């Protein structure tokens, strides 16, 4: 086995692991290392991003490459997902310090946990072996539990962490049980082997294994009916952590699910297609209906993320290359919209620096902070999928894939349900623009927040459509990578 | 013509709209007015350079900027006329808001300019998805216009407007995706010639119908319109009635009819039935309104029903009548909303009973109001007459019963409009404050005068407006011929005259006196 080649391929993970371990030492010996640790972590993430980009563009890796004897695979699909994950993590790190500093709770462990999380996510999307997958999943999940409870003296944060941990552990257990069944019936943990073993049909036991694995993964992406933890955890966790949960880990979990469904279980599409269709429909409807009565902005965004996962799953349900490509395009736009929305929520503070977290708090915002309000307006219309904003394009490609796969009824129900979602996105606009101010918002926000919000708003603005040829080409080649393995 | 005039018409309001967001109120007003006037000038240029009888699609532009769909623009005569209507009404809308809007003027003007951009885009788009983007995007500025600057119940109205029209439109997107998947192109001119299987047409037609019927609006999905009209500021109502309602009719004439002729014939009964109900029902509802704007809103639904009936008559007269009705209604109902706005600005109420005897203290206003009331009724000499006559002549060839009902609706239309006029302009001056109102200002003259001139022009010499559309309507008629229903009127073709109707004997000097008696 050529270790040098393997290390070359997994260099992004190595960079991040190295940075995390060094920072951990720093944090143990140095006081007030939080700022420095954040800068180092961002640098490391940029390094990993560039390396991933290099691997993506390098023509000699056009067909991808395996590392460590088929435990880990580097291909366009994984690289695109990782780019998204790293960039989202960077954005979250930029948004974080100000939130905690006000409570004096920012410590160097935070960037370290985020780095370890990024390593885990990178492994999740690149794993082509159940064991690698599980290690990546747990590395990511465990650091997430700690992050959710990062405000130790805040009961809500602790509650969120505990809730997330217990339910997450349950899901991990379900996945493990499913994996053991899959292994038992296929005799291998490698995706290629599982695919070959299941090519001639599934026995009942193996089917149970597949269903258990998918159920566990559905928990990780917060698809209905395994979504119950999402609103509570999103509301209780510190807002920057929520922003992170809604972006990078979502990408990782979806990409992991897609790779597993297409690669490992790709010979038995009928076995999981119905499950995915049901989860997609239920997520769209529940995500839209659940958000209607909510008053807390973070809870609304939590339901919004459930709703968006539903649309993403429509792409997966087609089980075609164009469907997978649509999933990646949608994920890209989703990340921009979500990070933008949370950046805006983090910028909403009153004069004393207290976070504004409910609809009543942001009433009449457009008179106090016009620029911020217009940014949120664009993001919300984009989330609702109204053209000419870029969020429409995500829905467009997903539905196009569904129509091409002859799943017209699914597409019709999905798009009709998206109108329900428009209702609560409109509420943001209504509250900010039509109502009179109730609380005084602070008038200044730090540059870092503006930069993140500005980039996200630029992407979702109609200018985003100029990205479509390029985005489509990248997503197509990434999707093709999944289908050429066989 | 190589000069990208359509793109320029899109660019001007875009740039001005973005600029308005950052400008103070007086500057924003001026910028908006200048930008809309530039667009009007460009529109006139467009009309002058339009080659009647030339290529079907003119001023075409094409750029492959996006994946899946193209940035493709181009107009035929139908689109030209509707673009003219939009750019003509826009400066008037800006003038109408000159004093009425005092809050957040920059944002208001920006919303209107974006609206103009999107309306021109809808009519000029030659790619189906580009069309959809412009079509749907119009919801955003209109939502804000109603919600921010609207009346007391504006939030309910804005939600209803947005969700109603969105729900109508989304299924159309799925239908479009299916069509593009089957036909392999998203170019509208190509799709207009593409023959879809009749069984598929049924579903596609219904999906498009859901969208256009809501936009139009047809009974029973018209209920968003009275709410939106009443709550919107005056200029918002003008744009809503003047141009946005035309999107539905334009959709039928551009998509439903040429792309699905068989399905259109199949659902003829549905369209006629809904149109007949709409004309009678909404006219009766309009009779009992106490709110002026609501009354005019219901009259819009009735007029739009004549448009739908005319469109689905499957003959040239019906199609021409429907098009003229759209143009005429755009001008007339826009002007009527402006008339309401003029007195609303003075008294701040739309209650009909609060006015009375305005002809005494506002004679010039009463004159304009009377003129537009007559145009709405369809008095000969105004555009409304041409529209109703052509449309009903077309419908008559298909269904005499439908014509009977629709004509009854027109009589009812005369009833509610004259009743409205009597209560507002005639009678005694019941209220001192209404009696003290001043007559039209110069600004209001400038707003109403051009519309009155256009209405008169269209009523006296409709040929100017019909000529650019003639070839396109003939092409559409030829396309529809294979599915055209057999009418119940069975008109007999008489012996044709030797000369045209306006032939003047003796003008050529030949045998003047001798043949005079023969006629």
Residue A416 sits at the chain B interface (C-beta within 8 Å):
yes
> Closest Cα partner for B145 from B113, B192, B99?
B113
pLDDT on residue B515: 45
Q: Take residue A261 and report the two structure tokens written for it.
A: 């469904």
**Interchain contact, B173 vs A396, CB within 8 Å:** yes
Inter-chain touch B174–A412, beta carbons under 8 Å: yes
pLDDT for B2 beyond 70:
no
pLDDT, position B493: 77
Task: Give yes or no for residue B504 having a pLDDT over 50.
Answer: yes
B153: Cα within 13 Å, side-chain hemisphere: 11
Confidence of residue B517 (pLDDT cuts 50, 70, 90): very low
Residue with the two structure tokens 């930069």: A451
Q: Kindly identify which residue of chain A lies nearest to residue B172, measuring between CA atoms.
A: A412
ipTM of the complex: 0.91
pLDDT at B1 over 90: no
pLDDT tens digits, one per residue of B304-318: 999 999 999 888 899
**Are A387 and B132 within 8 A, CB to CB?**
yes
Instruction: Tell if the CB–CB gap between A426 and B181 is shorter than 8 Å.
Output: no
The pLDDT mean for chain A works out to: 90
Cα–Cα distance, B99 to B344 (Å, whole number): 12
| Residue B518 reports pLDDT greater than 50 | no
CA distance A209 to A167: 20
Grade residue B514 by pLDDT with cuts at 50, 70 and 90: very low
HEC string of B199-266 equals: HHHHHHHHHHHHHHHHHCCCCCCCCHHHHHHHHCCHHHHHHHHHHHHHHHHHHHHHHHHHHCHHHHHH
A406 CB within 8 Å of a chain B CB = no
Query: What distance in Å separates the CA atoms of residue B370 and residue B377, rounded to the nearest whole number?
Result: 10
| Dihedral sign computed on CA atoms, order A63, A87, A152, A253 | negative
Dist CA B334 CA B448 (whole Å): 10
Helix (H) or strand (E) holding A22: helix A11-29
Q: What is the rounded distance in angstroms from the CA atom of residue B479 to the CA atom of residue B314?
A: 10
Judged by a CB distance cut-off of 8 A, whether residue B453 touches chain A is no
Contacts of A419 in chain B (CB under 8 A): 163, 166-167, 170
Specify the pLDDT at position A81. 94
User: If you average pLDDT over every residue of chain B, what do you get?
Assistant: 88
Report the share of chain B in percent with pLDDT over 70.
97
Contact between residue A178 and residue A216 where contact means Cβ atoms under 8 Å apart:
yes
Instruction: State how far the Cα of A304 lies from the Cα of A385, in Å rounded to an integer.
Output: 12
Instruction: Tell me the two tokens of residue B319.
Output: 């199609």
Asked if residues B328 and B298 have their Cβ atoms less than 8 Å apart, the reply is no
Q: First CA to last CA across chain B, in angstroms?
A: 49
SS3 A355: strand
A463 at the B interface (CB within 8 A)? no
Tokens of B221: 């999905």
Place of tokens 């009961």: A155
B495 touches chain A (CB under 8 A): no
Chain B contact for A408 (CB, 8 A cutoff) = yes
Q: Return the CA Rg of chain B.
A: 23
Residues in A 383-402 with any Cβ partner in B closer than 8 A: 386-388, 392, 396-397, 399-400
- Which of A422, A466, A472 minimises the CB distance to B65? A466
pLDDT digits over A117-166, tens only?
Answer: 999 999 999 999 999 999 999 999 999 999 999 988 889 899 999 999 99
- Candidates A387, A281, A329, A123; CA nearest to B132 is A387
List, for residues B427-436, the tens digit of each pLDDT value: 888 888 888 8
Mean pLDDT of A469-478: 90
CB A48 within 8 A of CB A89: no
Q: What are phi and psi of B75, to 5 degrees?
A: -135, 150
Place A374 in a pLDDT band, splitting at 50, 70 and 90.
very high
Enumerate residues 6+ apart whose C-beta is below 8 A from A233. A148, A160, A163, A164, A242, A245, A302
Whole-number Cα distances in Å, A282 to A222, A265, A310, B436, B511: 11, 22, 7, 62, 85
At A62 the three-state DSSP class reads coil
What are the phi and psi torsion angles at B122 (to 5°)?
A: -60, -45
Q: What is the mean pLDDT of residues B185-195?
A: 89
* Distance, CA of B325 to CA of B302 (rounded, Å): 11
pLDDT computed for residue A89 by the predictor: 95
Tell me the residue ranges of DSSP E strands in A405-477. Answer: none
Of A152, A285, A303, the residue nearest A242 (C-alpha): A303
* pLDDT, position A317: 92
Of the partner residues B67, B147, B162, the one whose CB lies closest to the CB of residue A468: B67
Instruction: List beta partners, residue B125.
Output: B73
- pLDDT of the residue at A61: 81
Q: Quick check: B311 and B270 in contact, CB under 8 A?
A: no
Distance of CA A463 to CAs A391, A422, B68, Å?
12, 22, 16
A362, A436 Cβ separation under 8 angstroms = no
> pLDDT (tens digit, 9 = 90+) per residue, B332-366?
999 999 999 988 888 888 888 888 888 888 889 99
Nearest to A412 among B155, B158, B171 (CB): B171
Collapsed DSSP state (helix, strand, coil) of residue A203:
coil
Per-residue confidence (pLDDT) for residue A1, from 0 to 100 = 56
Q: What is the pTM of this model?
A: 0.91
Task: Give B454-490 pLDDT, tens digit per residue.
Answer: 999 999 999 989 989 988 999 998 888 888 888 777 7
Please name which of B205, B204, B247 lies closest in space to residue B225, comparing C-alpha atoms. B247
How big is the A-B interface in CB pairs under 8 Å?
Answer: 87
- What are the residue ranges spanned by the domains of chain A? 3-482
A116 or A368, which is more confident:
A116
Interface check A371 vs B, CB under 8 A: no
For an interface test with B, which of A390, A396, A410, A464 has the most B Cβ atoms less than 10 Å from its Cβ? A396
**C-alpha closest to that of A355 among A158, A152, A99, A50:** A99
CA dihedral B181, B187, B189, B192 (to 10 degrees): 20
Report percent pLDDT > 70 for chain A.
99
3-state secondary structure B1-24: CCCCHHHHHHHHHHHHHHHHHCCC
CA B198 to chain A, closest CA, distance in angstroms equals: 18
| Cβ atoms within 10 Å of A271's Cβ, excluding its own | 18
Q: How far separated are the first and last CA of chain A, in Å rounded?
A: 22
Q: How far is B155 from chain A (nearest CA, A)?
A: 8
Tokens, residue A450: 């503006």
């Amino acid at each position: 086995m050529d270790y040098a080649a393997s290390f070359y391929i997994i260099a992004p993970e190595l960079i991040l692991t190295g940075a995390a371990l060094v920072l951990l030492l720093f944090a143990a010996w140095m006081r007030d290392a939080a700022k420095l640790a954040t800068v180092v972590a961002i640098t490391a993430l940029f390094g990993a991003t560039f390396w991933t980009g290099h691997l993506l563009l390098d023509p000699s890796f056009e067909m991808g490459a395996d590392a460590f004897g088929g435990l880990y695979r580097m291909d366009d699909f994984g690289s695109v997902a990782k780019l998204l994950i790293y960039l989202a993590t960077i954005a979250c790190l930029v948004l974080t310090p100000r939130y905690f500093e006000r409570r004096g709770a920012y410590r160097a462990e935070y960037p370290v946990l985020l780095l370890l999380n990024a390593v885990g996510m990178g492994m999740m999307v690149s794993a082509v072996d159940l064991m690698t997958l599980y290690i990546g999943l747990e590395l990511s999940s465990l650091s997430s539990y700690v992050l959710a409870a990062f405000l130790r003296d805040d009961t809500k944060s602790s509650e969120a962490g505990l809730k997330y941990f217990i339910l997450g552990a349950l899901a991990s257990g379900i996945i493990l049980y499913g994996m053991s069944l899959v292994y038992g019936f296929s005799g291998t943990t490698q995706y290629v082997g599982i695919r070959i073993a299941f090519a001639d049909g599934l026995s009942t036991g193996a089917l149970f294994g597949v269903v258990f694995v998918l159920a566990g993964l559905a928990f990780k992406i917060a698809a209905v009916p395994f979504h119950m933890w999402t609103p509570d955890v999103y509301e209780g966790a510190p807002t920057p952590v929520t922003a992170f949960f809604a972006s990078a880990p979502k990408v990782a979990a979806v990409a992991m699910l897609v790779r597993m469904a297409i690669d490992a279980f790709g010979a038995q599409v009928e076995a999981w297609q119905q499950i995915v269709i049901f989860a997609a429909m239920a997520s769209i409807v529940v995500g839209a209906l659940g958000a209607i009565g909510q008053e807390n902005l973070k809870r609304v965004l939590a339901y919004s993320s459930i709703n968006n996962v539903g649309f993403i799953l429509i792409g997966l349900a087609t089980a075609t290359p164009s469907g997978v490509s649509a999933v990646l395009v949608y994920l890209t736009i989703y990340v921009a919209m979500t990070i933008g929305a949370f950046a805006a929520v983090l910028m909403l503070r009153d004069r004393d620096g207290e976070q504004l977290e409910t609809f009543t708090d942001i009433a009449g915002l457009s008179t106090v902070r016009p620029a911020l309000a217009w940014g949120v307006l664009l993001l919300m219309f984009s989330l609702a999928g109204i053209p000419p904003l870029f969020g429409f394009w995500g829905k467009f490609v997903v539905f196009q894939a569904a129509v091409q796969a002859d799943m017209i009824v699914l597409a019709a129900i999905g798009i009709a349900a998206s109108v329900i979602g428009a209702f609560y996105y409109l509420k943001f606009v209504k509250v900010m623009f039509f109502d009179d101010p109730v609380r005084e918002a602070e008038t200044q926000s730090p540059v870092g927040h503006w930069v993140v919000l500005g980039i996200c708003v630029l992407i979702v603005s109609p200018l985003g459509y100029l990205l479509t040829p390029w985005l489509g080409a990248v997503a197509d080649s990434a999707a093709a990578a999944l289908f050429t393995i066989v | 013509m190589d000069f990208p005039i359509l793109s320029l018409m899109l660019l001007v309001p875009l740039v001005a709209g973005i600029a308005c967001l950052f400008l103070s109120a007086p500057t924003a007003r001026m910028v908006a007015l200048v930008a809309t006037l530039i667009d009007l000038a460009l529109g006139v240029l467009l009309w002058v350079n339009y080659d009647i009888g030339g290529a079907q699609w003119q001023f075409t532009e094409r750029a492959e900027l996006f994946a899946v769909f193209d940035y493709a623009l181009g107009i035929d005569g139908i689109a030209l006329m509707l673009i003219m209507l939009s750019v003509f009404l826009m400066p008037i809308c800006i003038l109408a808001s000159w004093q009425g809007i005092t809050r957040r003027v920059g944002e208001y003007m920006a919303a209107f300019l974006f609206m103009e951009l999107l309306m021109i885009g809808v009519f000029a788009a030659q790619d189906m998805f580009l069309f959809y983007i412009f079509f749907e995007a119009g919801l955003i500025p209109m939502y804000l216009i109603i919600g921010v600057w609207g009346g007391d119940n504006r939030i309910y109205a804005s939600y209803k407007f947005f969700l109603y029209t969105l729900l109508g439109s989304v299924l159309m997107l799925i239908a479009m995706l299916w069509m593009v998947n089957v036909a392999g192109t998203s170019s509208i001119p190509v799709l207009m010639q593409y023959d879809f299987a009749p069984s598929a047409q049924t579903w596609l037609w219904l999906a498009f119908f859901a969208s256009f019927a809501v936009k139009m609006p047809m009974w029973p999905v018209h209920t968003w319109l009275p709410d939106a009209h009443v709550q919107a500021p005056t200029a918002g109502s003008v744009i809503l009635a003047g141009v946005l309602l035309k999107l539905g009719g334009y959709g039928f004439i551009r998509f439903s009819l040429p792309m699905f002729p068989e399905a259109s014939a199949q659902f003829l009964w549905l369209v006629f039935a809904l149109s007949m109900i709409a004309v009678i029902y909404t006219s009766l509802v309009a009779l009992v309104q106490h709110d002026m704007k609501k009354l005019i809103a219901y009259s819009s639904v009735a007029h739009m029903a004549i448009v739908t009936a005319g469109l689905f008559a499957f003959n040239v007269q019906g199609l021409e009548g429907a098009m003229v009705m759209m143009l005429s209604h755009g001008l007339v109902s826009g002007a009527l909303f402006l008339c309401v706005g003029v007195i609303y600005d003075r008294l701040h109420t739309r209650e009909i009973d609060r006015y009375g005897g305005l002809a005494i203290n506002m004679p010039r206003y009463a004159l304009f109001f009377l003129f537009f009331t007559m145009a709405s009724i369809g008095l000969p000499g105004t555009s409304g007459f041409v529209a109703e006559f052509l449309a009903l002549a077309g419908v008559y060839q298909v269904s005499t019963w439908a014509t009977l009902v629709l004509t009854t609706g027109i009589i009812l239309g005369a009833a509610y409009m004259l009743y409205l006029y009597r209560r507002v302009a005639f009678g005694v001056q019941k209220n001192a404050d209404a009696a003290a109102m001043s007559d039209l200002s110069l600004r209001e003259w400038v707003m109403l005068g051009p519309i009155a001139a256009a209405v008169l022009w269209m009523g006296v010499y409709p040929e100017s407006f019909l000529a650019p559309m003639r070839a396109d309507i003939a092409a559409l008629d030829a396309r529809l011929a294979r599915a055209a229903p057999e009418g119940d009127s069975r008109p007999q073709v008489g012996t044709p005259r030797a000369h045209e109707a306006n032939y003047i004997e003796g003008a050529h000097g030949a045998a003047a006196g001798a043949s005079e008696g023969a006629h």
